[in-house]
Amino acid sequence: MILALAVVVGLIASLICHRGGALDRIAAISLRWAWLVPLALALQWPLLRAPAGLREQIGVQQVLFWASHLLLLAFVGLNWRSNAIRIVGLGVLCNLIVILANGGLMPVTPETLVQINPGTSLGQWTAGAHYGYSKDIIVAKQNVVLWPLSDILVLPAPFPWPAAFSLGDLIIAIGIIILLQGSPTSLRVLTVESRQV
Amino acid sequence: MKALKNLWNRYATPTNVKIAYVLFILASMAVAGGAPSGSGGVGN
């Protein structure tokens, strides 16, 4: 959920940069087949609500999770004309690659979990277990495939919501922030509309 | 109910509804496309 902050940051940045025009710019953003995105999120919901346990216990949730990525990639493809959506798509792809390379869930190491869960120890995080209520699986660092793309970036305490995230997550956040500044396409729409008025 | 209807008529302009829609889609994209680990999860 930490990534939803990108929307807030993007909105604030847009209000600062464009002042009164920010909301018109956002309203002019055109997204095709946007309903695919909440549908993808709905497919992921069972995994996000699954408590910690063995990977075998969340087989169905994992299949739905993989299927949701087809919808996300379709959404990116249908909105390919937007540079910001291409950036978001790159982030989704980075995450998907490392997820597939590690058996279907995002790998996170016990060391990272100790960083974002102060007061815990390495021994509390069993390799191979699903990290509850997330898309992550706990993997020992030496066993992580494509480690640089996994959840290695950390926002530690005293940040109010300590979290670990991946390079793909960061790229998605950047894409969303850029998109909320209004694309050249949406600016052209605004120009045409203002001329008509 | 009448007050609610008044609020809706006042603030639910087509532009505001479109802004809310775009923000909802982007927030959904952030949650669905990303895979961060939050604190407070349980590992075993």
The per-residue pLDDT for B9 is 86
CA distance A119 to chain B (A): 11
Band the pLDDT of A9: cuts 50, 70, 90: very high
Q: How many contiguous H segments (helices) and E segments (strands) does chain B have?
A: 2, 1
Residue A60 in tokens: 């169905």
The per-residue pLDDT for A158 is 81
Mean pLDDT throughout A49-68? 92
Percentage above 90 pLDDT, chain A: 75
The winner for highest mean pLDDT among A23-27, A93-97, A118-122 is A93-97
Mean pLDDT throughout A20-45? 94
Q: What residues of chain A, 155 to 194, have a C-beta less than 8 Å from chain B?
A: 157, 161-166, 168-169, 172-173, 176, 179-180
- Helix residue spans in A49-182 (DSSP H): 59-78, 83-101, 110-116, 167-179
Task: State yes or no: pLDDT of A175 exceeds 70.
Answer: yes
Residues spanned by the domain of A126: 2-196
Q: Does A40 touch chain B (CB under 8 A)?
A: yes
The per-residue pLDDT for A197 is 45
Report CB contact under 8 Å: B15, A27: yes
Mean pLDDT throughout B20-33? 94
The per-residue pLDDT for A190 is 47
Report CB contact under 8 Å: B26, A172: no
Percentage above 70 pLDDT, chain B: 89
Q: Does A88 touch chain B (CB under 8 A)?
A: yes
pTM: 0.89
> Cα–Cα distances in Å, from A44 out to A109, A129, B5?
22, 18, 35
CA distance B2 to chain A (A): 28
Q: Kindly report the average pLDDT of chain B as a whole number.
A: 86
Determine which of A36-50, A179-193, B24-38 has the lowest per-residue pLDDT on average: A179-193
The per-residue pLDDT for B44 is 44
Q: Are strands A136-138 and A106-108 parallel, antiparallel or unpaired?
A: parallel
Taking the alpha carbons at both ends of chain B, their separation in whole angstroms is: 49
For chain A, what is the domain count?
A: 1
Q: Which residues of B touch A6 (CB under 8 A)?
A: 26, 30
Band the pLDDT of A185: cuts 50, 70, 90: low
Mean pLDDT throughout A54-81? 94
Task: State yes or no: pLDDT of B19 exceeds 50.
Answer: yes
Q: Which residues of B touch A68 (CB under 8 A)?
A: 32
The per-residue pLDDT for A183 is 57
